[in-house]
Structures are given as C-alpha cells and as structure tokens.
Structure 1
C-alpha cells in the first residue's frame, strides 16, 4: 500500500504547490481558481491518508515484496455481483443529472429519484432476493 499512497501523495504536493503559485501569480485576487486547486490537492490527501491507514492495518502484501511468489495471492479476492443491473440504474440517474445541468433544473428531481433507487438497490442487493445472506 505504500506505493499506492505515494502515487496519490505526489499529485497532492503538486496541487498544493500549483495552488500557491496560482495565488501568487494572480496576486491572491482570483479565489475560485486557488480554492479549486487547493481542494483538488485535499482530495488527493484524503486518498493518501486512506491508503496509509490501510498499509498500517494490513502490513505488507505479497505484491509489495520483491521476493513474493505468485501463489501467495491466490484465492478469493472479494465479493462481487456479476449479474447486477443496479450499476446501470445508478448510471442512468447520473446521466439524467448531467442532462439536468444542460437542459433544465426540473430534470434533477427524476434524476435524484432514479439515483436513490439505484443506490439503495445496489447496496441492499445481497440482503434480499436470490442472493440474500
């Protein structure tokens, strides 16, 4: 996880440096751009902190070591829903939300309804129906 952490730490440092340079070059008069650049760096920092906490919790993985064998990572990697239609419903809700930004605000209401239905269905997929645990 240390490699993943560094992959996000380097852009975070870049965006904080770029935000400072942007502020200096605009004489701190243009706050929207400076704030947006700093917030982008902050998002990278959040992912960096998450990967750092994962590295502390789980230690070194097989793919982090140079002397690891391929067989060390064999086995189950997670639980996935291979026949789920709920991501499509969530995507439809997101597409409607983007259409609302381009066309008119009233489309945001059905977009929110479709998005919430898709998200709840996706989260609750393994709690009800054929695949319930």
Structure 2
C-alpha cells in the first residue's frame, strides 16, 4: 500500500502544478476548479493509503524481492451473489428520474431503495448465507 499511496501523492502534486498552469494560461474558472478538485481527491486517497499502510502488515507489493506467488492465497471475504444491488440501482435510477419527470415518481423509488438497502445490510442474517 505504500507504493499506491506514493503514486497518488505524486499524482496530486502533478495535478496541482497543472491546475496552476492551466488557471494562469486559460483564465477559465470551470476547468481550473475541476483540476483543483481532482487534486483534492488525489491527496485524500494518497493520504488514506499512506496512513493505512503504516497500520497494516507490509504486503508483497511493498517488497522489492517478492514474487507473484507471495501474494497468493485468500484475500478476504467477498459476498456471494446478491439481488439487492439491482433493487438499489432501479430505485436510485427512478429517484434521479423523478427530478426530471416529477416528484410523484419518488413514491415508487423510495420503497425500492428501502427494500434494497435493508436486504443488503441484513442478507447474512437469514437464508442460506446465515452465520451459525
């Protein structure tokens, strides 16, 4: 994670320099603002990765003499297939469409979002994925 943190921090330095150069040359506020916001996003991600790298064990990517096989094995727990993201996506799409079409559409999207969110949060408390 140290390498990824350094990459994002160096990228943020580059984007900051480009934002200053772009702002001076173009005097265009929208692009300059977008570049400064991109700088902020890169510095946040870089800081998070650098901060987290100090708290966790060094991975194989941090060792210059590591092989690909050194990073093999279980990477963590990933949820099995789930239908809940589909419900959230349809509900979210209807919610954003309600801005353009009419706020009455929110009456149909809010229950879809609530069911999808509730189901996704509690999907490991019932059914075949229930923890013993």
User: Could you give the per-residue CA deviations for residues 90-121 of structure 1, whole angstroms, max 9, x where no partner exists?
Assistant: 322343355456x4352772445534432332
RMSD: 2.9
TM-score by length of 2: 0.72
- Residue 65 of structure 1: how far off its partner (Å): 1.4
Distance verdict in 2 for CA 1:76–1:112, change over 3 Å? same
Distance verdict in 2 for CA 1:120–1:45, change over 3 Å? farther
Task: Give the match for residue 10 of structure 2.
Answer: 10
Matched residue of 1:3: which SS? helix
Give ranges in structure 1 of 5+ residues lacking alignment. Answer: none
Number of equivalences: 130
Task: Give the match for residue 76 of structure 1.
Answer: 74
Give ranges in structure 2 of 5+ residues lacking alignment. Answer: none
Distance verdict in 2 for CA 1:129–1:3, change over 3 Å? same
